[in-house]
Structure 1
Amino acid sequence: MTELYLPAGTAGHGAYELEVTPESAGWGYSGLRVVALDAAEEHHFDTGADEVVVVPLSGGATVDADGSHVDLTGRADVFAGPTDFVYLPPGTTVTLHSERGGRFALCSARTDRRLPVRYGAASEVPVELRGAGRSSRQVRNFGTPDNLDAGAIIACEVITPDGNWSSYPAHKHDEASEHESELEEIYYFEVAAGPQGQPGLGFFRTSSSPGHPIEITEEVHDRDVVLVPHGWHGPAVAAPGHAMYYLNVMAGPPHLGAEHGRAWLISDHPDQTWVRSAWADQEVDPRLTQEGS
């Protein structure tokens, strides 16, 4: 049986401190690798059957891919605001070079669609303030269907201020219908340390949806991963004193109602949908902005 909770340091392989592939996850589409580079170090890889979005978690890099050269400015860390990124199609040979060192997420999805290499500027990443009150969070929609033309991948980043709840109401996307798309999802977490460097923590929940048994309630820490093959997922809760970041990578079979088959359609948990109406009388958490976090 595939492990769905992957504590930091338990799912690395070779050059990667984290490696999730469709094969290792026991599903068909979504993947995520994280590679750390020392100053002036290079990493070579081939995208193979996957499209890949290179997302700097910290630091910057240059990306050389089949004749294209892209400079990624990157960022100090995931809490410093959105980053620029690069999209790479399947069948692409890549060299990633970081002059000062850094950590880089390689978000991936299995697809037959081949599009050109493209650069995405940080200033053009749509930043959404979702929810209100203690359900306020910031969503950076760099790889969603409205912002990135791609074959199958859907990806975004979420910042949850300390003490807040996100992925709430709990929701699902595990069946194809007019109102829902079938998507496998990866949650990669980074959790801010305390004032003297104390390790941070949060909590994450996934529960059974009709016909899809699953039960996950985990205390999550910095660089942990949770796989969501199906089910109602959420909430993700940031402990007081520890802001939470997570990177979501999703992909699934083509959705017949969407152009090129790519759609991000969800259903709220029926017991929690009422939460959305409560936001109308609450202010968005002032710690969040639409420019950064």
Structure 2
Amino acid sequence: MSKLLLKAKRGAGHVAHVTPESAGWTYVGFDLHRAVAGQTVSGRSETKEVCLVFVTGKGVATVNGRDLGLLGERMSPFEGKPWSVYVPEGCDWSVTADTPLELAVCSAPGLGGGLPVRVISPGDLGQETRGKGTNTRYVTNILPENEPADSLLVVEVITPGGHTSSYPPHKHDQDNLPAESYLEETYYHRFNPPQGFGFQRVYTDDRTLDEAMAIEDGDVVMVPKGYHPCAACHGYDLYYLNVMAGPKRTWKFHNAVEHEWLMGR
């Protein structure tokens, strides 16, 4: 199995854990918790900033003892926009599940920006459609670069069954602005219906990295460098939650030259 693929764990608990140390990189952390009603998930941001994304379910959130109220509304990542909480560095946070809850904890280095805690509601989120034909997908920007944060970029994407995504293949592994930014990235995948599957390839121009992975419901893929397109098999819509971070908080990508002609179709 590819070292870039973290297979799904079933049931409740701390079901996914990616750190810069475990991934062999510098910036991105990703954790996924599943809790039953009444259970509490908690942590401390320490020197990192955190974005808590309510992938599914509802819960009461607190940061440094401040009650942020009951957040979350959707019971499936394929139904509407998420609720999220931005947590700056040096904060204690917790979420107590009111319903079955799937909570993503997206993290990256805090840079002392002094930003406040904030709740990000569905009404705050912009959505866009990218691509055309069988390359159409639907993007929800949770923490885009035009919203305040130190390092984190967070986005959700829905790719209909039979469609491709993160395609034509693009990469962002060079600190070469304004042409390209260096960003590490994780993908958290879900399928509807959940027995579905798809594929993701992570590869470099020289093919020193070239991994093709079958992805299933709940899998996490790590993208340290290279191109990283996805394909959703017919009949199964694909959701993924992206977390990106690097030395500069901007998303500037480079398309694979041999496939860039597809942009004109």
Instruction: Say yes or no: TM over 0.5.
Output: yes
Amino acid of the residue matched to residue 273 of structure 1? E
Aligned to 1:179: 179
Query: RMSD between aligned alpha carbons?
Result: 1.8
Alignment of 1:40-59 (within 5 A): 40-59=38-57
1:15 shift after superposition: 4.4
| CA distance, structure 1, for counterparts of residue 175 and residue 42 of structure 2 | 37
Aligned to 1:225: 220
Amino acid of the residue matched to residue 95 of structure 1? S
Aligned to 1:291: none
CA contact (8 A) 1:189 1:222 kept: yes
CA contact (8 A) 1:68 1:117 kept: no
- Structure 2 alignment gaps of length 5 or more: none
Aligned to 2:262: 275
| CA distance, structure 2, for counterparts of residue 50 and residue 170 of structure 1 | 30
1:68 shift after superposition: 2.8
CA contact (8 A) 2:56 2:72 kept: no
2:262 corresponds to 1:266: no
Amino acid of the residue matched to residue 131 of structure 1? G
2:207 corresponds to 1:207: no
1:125 shift after superposition: 0.7
2:149 corresponds to 1:150: yes
Aligned to 1:125: 125
4+ residue runs over 6 A deviation: none
CA contact (8 A) 2:155 2:242 kept: yes
Aligned to 1:34: 32
Aligned to 2:22: 24
Amino acid of the residue matched to residue 123 of structure 2? S
Amino acid of the residue matched to residue 76 of structure 2? D
Q: Give the TM-score normalised by the residue count of structure 2.
A: 0.94
CA contact (8 A) 1:58 1:77 kept: yes
Greater strand percent: which structure?
A: 2
CA contact (8 A) 2:13 2:35 kept: no
SS of alignment partner, residue 48 of structure 1:
coil
Deviations 1:54-76 (A, max 9, x none): 11111011211114322312311
CA contact (8 A) 2:168 2:256 kept: yes
Amino acid of the residue matched to residue 256 of structure 2? H
CA contact (8 A) 2:6 2:16 kept: no
1:8 shift after superposition: 1.0
CA contact (8 A) 2:156 2:239 kept: yes
- Structure 1 alignment gaps of length 5 or more: 255-261, 279-293
Report the identity percentage: 35
| CA distance, structure 1, for counterparts of residue 16 and residue 140 of structure 2 | 22
Aligned to 1:251: 245
Aligned length: 261
Distance 1:20 1:74, change over 3 A: farther
1:264 shift after superposition: 0.7
Amino acid of the residue matched to residue 21 of structure 1? T
Aligned to 1:86: 85
